[in-house]
């Protein structure tokens, strides 16, 4: 069988999420006579050959078209549909990113096939039958499910699979794939703004100082900002903070905000709702500062300080400053 | 302009998810239900658009009879019409859900006669990017394909440009367009699309208002249009829900109040986050 995996690019390299998707797809291919194929949108030379080879890709397809001036979800899906037919692919896999999820949804709509979103694992269980584990509630709940479809369309929950290179060496052949696109496929094409979002990114920050309802209002964030500055980090907030309008939504950590994976997440006055924890479970270390020793966050954290953040955080700032001065 | 917003009733899960004994649902006996967050923002966005351009917001949900509560919440935010596609409470997959929404839109077009596009009675169909519970990320896209409309997802900023004929508005959407923006990998993507269109939005596109008292009173009295579409099975079948293993741990308590600060500083030092 052939499993076809969409590989997104991050600059000239394969995006980390796509390496995870390739790892997932390789497990689905299994050890038999199967074949892992990858598809990249761009010219032949944009295929990150060394990386996809290390992940076990036998054939990589580069989709290039003069009509594709930018990301175009329907056109990408149309090209994927044609390529999957050509390869008689058993499954098409993409990382559950905004692009991957969107393209796979279009592919499902074009083909009339179901799309199983946010998979953590997949295995074949007879012809046209797949056993899946899917994430619900952004990974706070798992669903065991069965997919019956002539072709499995799967997105991979981004933090469910660790990127793991293949044990066996596989030489990758690169092929150009030309897709016939209609006018309707090109109705929606993204124009990328030249403007990059400035400042330290919440998603990639090494330290995040989190603030929740316990901060009490917009003014309470001054101390958290100061601490974040001292730790070389950024401030993140819970949903209640953005719903109250205390801080902008772009600072929200959680299911409907940003997912973070810092070395340290210092969660201050945050109760630890499912919606919030879904955004920070990839943090290496979680330290909670909370007045309530029975708050849900305590059962997700590695360390806790039981106390009022309005006293603890200024004292911590003072202690770090004193340490820096000595 | 005529806007349809599709919303989903989801459990309010709070701090912990509990699964029912049969493994089929989230246990909601101790919690309540709410509108999935992205979709509440979709309703707010629609209300702002009709405040600016005129028209009506229809809010639609597919769910059990009790989902009328969520429709009334959205009427209180400023939607003027509510449609309940009533189910017997079992979970519908994204294909069946999209089919039911498309059928409801077409039935509405039939009621309106030939004045509008017979395929689509709305200038804009708004969805949440993905439902909080199932996260399937596809109902809006499937509806767009069935109605032959362009579609963009994950939108955090939306502008609607009125057409040269004065629409959108009651005269229809000819010439109207939308500029939709979202962020992807630190860069902004901009989409210019003609209306009618399907757009799914994300929380952060706006800050939903609190319903006013008159809004709540109006919502309480409002009629809800109902129909009962037929459920059908899909290729993807849920067998069992379960809470991921090993999630619960107990934090090591460093201390209480400011007395804990020395231990906290030592920990930060050990983690290598102090310069």
pLDDT in tens, B100-131: 999 999 998 877 654 555 568 999 999 999 99
pLDDT tens series, chain A, 326 aa: 999 999 999 989 999 999 999 999 999 998 778 999 999 999 999 999 999 999 999 999 999 988 888 999 999 999 999 999 999 999 999 999 999 999 999 999 999 999 999 999 999 999 999 999 999 999 999 999 999 999 999 999 988 999 999 998 899 999 999 988 888 899 999 998 776 655 568 999 999 999 999 999 999 999 999 999 999 999 999 999 999 999 999 999 999 999 999 999 999 999 999 999 999 989 999 999 999 999 999 999 999 999 999 999 999 999 999 988 87
Domain layout of chain B by residue ranges: 2-227
Residue B56 has pLDDT above 80, yes or no: yes
Q: Is the pLDDT of residue B167 over 70?
A: no
**In a mutagenesis test of the B interface, which of A158, A188, A323 is the best target, namely the one with the most B β-carbons within 10 Å?**
A188
Judged by DSSP in three states, A293 sits in coil
The ipTM value here is 0.94
Tell me, what DSSP letter sits at residue A212?
A: -
On the question of pLDDT at B154 being above 80, the answer is yes
DSSP code string of B142-169: HHHHHHT--EEEEESEEEEEPPTTS-SS
- Does pLDDT of B168 surpass 50? no
Determine the straight-line distance between the first and last CA of chain B, rounded to whole angstroms: 56
Which one of B30, B92, B135, B178 makes the best mutation probe of the A interface by having the most chain A beta carbons within 10 Å?
A: B135
Average pLDDT over residues B143-147: 97
Interface residue of A70, A137, A139 to substitute, partner B, most B CBs within 10 Å: A137
d(CA A174, CA A280): 38
Query: Is the predicted pLDDT of residue B192 greater than 60, yes or no?
Result: yes
Inter-residue contact A39 to A7 (CB < 8 Å): yes
C-alpha distance from B210 to closest chain A C-alpha (Å): 10
- Please say whether the structural domain B2-227 has been given the CATH code 1.10.3720.10: no
Helix (H, G, I), strand (E, B) or coil at B247: coil
Helices B68-77 and B37-53 meet at what angle, rounded to 10?
Answer: 40
- pLDDT-based confidence at residue B164 (cuts at 50, 70, 90): low
CA B88, B92, B95, B98 torsion-angle sign = positive
Interchain contact B248–A (C-beta under 8 A): yes
- Which CATH number does A207-325 carry? 3.40.50.1220
- Distance separating alpha carbons of residues A261 and A259, to the nearest angstrom: 7
CB contact under 8 A, A146 and B254: no
pLDDT over 90 (residue B159): yes
Query: How many beta-carbon contacts under 8 Å exist across A and B?
Result: 270
* pLDDT value of position A86: 97
Distance from CA of B92 to the nearest CA of A (A): 13
Q: Tell me whether the CATH fold assigned to A2-186 matches the one assigned to A207-325.
A: yes
Interface of B with A in 256-275 (CB under 8 A): 256-258, 260-262, 264-265, 267-268, 271-275
B193-212: pLDDT as tens digits: 999 999 999 999 999 999 99
Give the closest-approach CA distance of B273 to chain A in angstroms.
6
Cβ within 8 Å of residue A154, ≥6 positions away: A24, A28, A91, A92, A93, A94, A104, A115, A116, A119, A122, A130, A132
Whole-number percent of chain B with pLDDT over 70: 92
Of A197, A256, A306, Cβ closest to residue B186:
A197
Q: Is the pLDDT of residue B186 over 90?
A: no
Task: Choose the weakest-confidence range: A175-189, A261-275, B70-84, B164-178.
Answer: B164-178
Residues A289, A309 contacting (CB under 8 angstroms): yes
pLDDT, position B170:
41
Nearest CA-CA distance, residue A36 and chain B, Å = 23
Q: Is the pLDDT of residue B171 over 60?
A: no
Sketch the domain layout of chain A as residue ranges: 2-186, 207-325
Q: What is the pLDDT of residue A154?
A: 98
Per the CB < 8 A criterion, the answer to whether B10 and B63 are in contact is no
Give the minimum alpha-carbon distance from B274 to chain A in angstroms, rounded to a whole number: 6
CATH T-level fold of A2-186: Rossmann fold (3.40.50)
Tell whether omega for the bond before B168 is within 30 degrees of 0, i.e. cis: yes
Q: Does B196 touch chain A (CB under 8 A)?
A: no
Instruction: Please state, as a whole number, how many other Cβ atoms lie within 10 Å of the Cβ of residue A133.
Output: 18
- Chain A residues close to B132, C-beta within 8 Å: 137, 255-256, 275
pLDDT at position A199: 53
Rg (CA), chain A: 23
- The whole-model pTM stands at 0.94
């Amino acid at each position: 069988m052939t499993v076809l995996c969409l590989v997104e690019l991050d600059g000239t390299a394969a995006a980390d999420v796509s390496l995870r998707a390739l790892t997932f797809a390789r497990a689905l291919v299994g050890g038999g006579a199967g074949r892992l194929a990858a598809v990249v949108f761009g010219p032949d030379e944009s295929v990150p050959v060394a990386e996809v080879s290390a992940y076990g890709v036998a054939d990589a397809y580069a989709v290039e078209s003069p009509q594709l001036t930018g990301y175009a979800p329907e056109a990408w899906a149309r090209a994927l549909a044609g390529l999957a037919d050509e390869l008689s692919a058993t499954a098409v896999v993409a990382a559950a990113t905004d692009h991957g999820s969107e393209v796979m949804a279009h592919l499902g709509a074009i083909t009339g096939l179901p799309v199983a979103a946010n998979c953590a694992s997949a295995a074949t269980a007879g012809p046209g039958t797949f056993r899946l584990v899917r994430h619900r509630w952004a990974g706070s709940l798992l669903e065991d499910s069965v997919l019956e479809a002539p072709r499995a369309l799967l997105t991979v929950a981004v933090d469910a699979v660790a990127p793991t290179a293949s044990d066996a060496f596989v030489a990758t052949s690169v092929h150009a794939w030309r897709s016939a696109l209609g006018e309707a496929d090109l109705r929606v094409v993204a124009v990328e703004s030249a403007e990059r979002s400035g400042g330290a990114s919440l998603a990639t920050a090494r330290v995040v100082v989190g603030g929740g309802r316990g901060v009490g209002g917009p003014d309470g964030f001054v101390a958290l900002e100061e601490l974040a500055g001292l730790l070389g980090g950024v401030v993140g907030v819970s949903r209640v903070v953005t719903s109250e309008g205390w801080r902008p939504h772009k600072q929200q950590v959680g299911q409907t905000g940003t997912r973070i994976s810092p070395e340290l997440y210092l969660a201050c006055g945050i109760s630890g709702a499912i919606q919030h924890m879904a955004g920070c479970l990839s943090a290496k270390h979680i330290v909670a500062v909370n007045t309530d020793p029975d708050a849900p966050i305590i059962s997700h954290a590695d360390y806790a300080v039981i106390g009022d953040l309005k006293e603890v955080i200024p004292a911590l700032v003072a202690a770090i400053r004193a340490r820096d001065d000595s | 302009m005529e806007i349809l917003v599709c919303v989903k009733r989801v459990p309010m899960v709070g701090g912990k998810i509990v699964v029912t004994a049969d493994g089929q649902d989230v246990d909601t006996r101790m919690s309540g239900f709410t509108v999935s967050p992205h979709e509440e923002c979709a309703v707010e966005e629609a209300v702002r658009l009709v405040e600016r351009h005129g028209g009506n917001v229809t809010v639609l949900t597919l769910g059990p009879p009790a989902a009328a509560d969520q429709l009334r919440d959205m009427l209180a935010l400023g939607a003027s019409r509510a449609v309940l596609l009533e189910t017997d409470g079992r979970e519908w997959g994204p294909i069946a859900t999209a089919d039911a929404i498309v059928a409801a839109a077409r039935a509405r077009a039939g009621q309106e006669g030939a004045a509008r596009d017979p395929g689509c009675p709305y200038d804009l169909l708004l969805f949440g990017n993905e439902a909080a519970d199932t996260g399937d990320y596809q109902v809006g896209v499937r509806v767009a394909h069935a109605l032959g409309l362009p579609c963009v997802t994950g939108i955090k900023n939306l502008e609607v440009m009125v057409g040269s004929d004065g629409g959108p508005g009651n005269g229809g959407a000819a010439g109207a367009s939308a500029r939709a923006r979202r962020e992807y990998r630190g860069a902004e993507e901009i989409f210019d699309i003609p209306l009618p269109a399907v757009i799914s939005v994300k929380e952060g596109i706006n800050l939903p208002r609190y319903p006013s008292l008159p809004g709540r009173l109006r919502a309480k009295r409002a009629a809800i249009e109902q129909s009962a579409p037929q459920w059908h099975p899909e290729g993807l079948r849920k067998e069992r829900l379960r809470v991921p293993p090993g999630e619960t741990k107990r934090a090591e308590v460093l201390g209480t109040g400011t007395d804990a600060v020395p231990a906290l500083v030592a920990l930060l030092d050990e983690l290598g986050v102090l310069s």
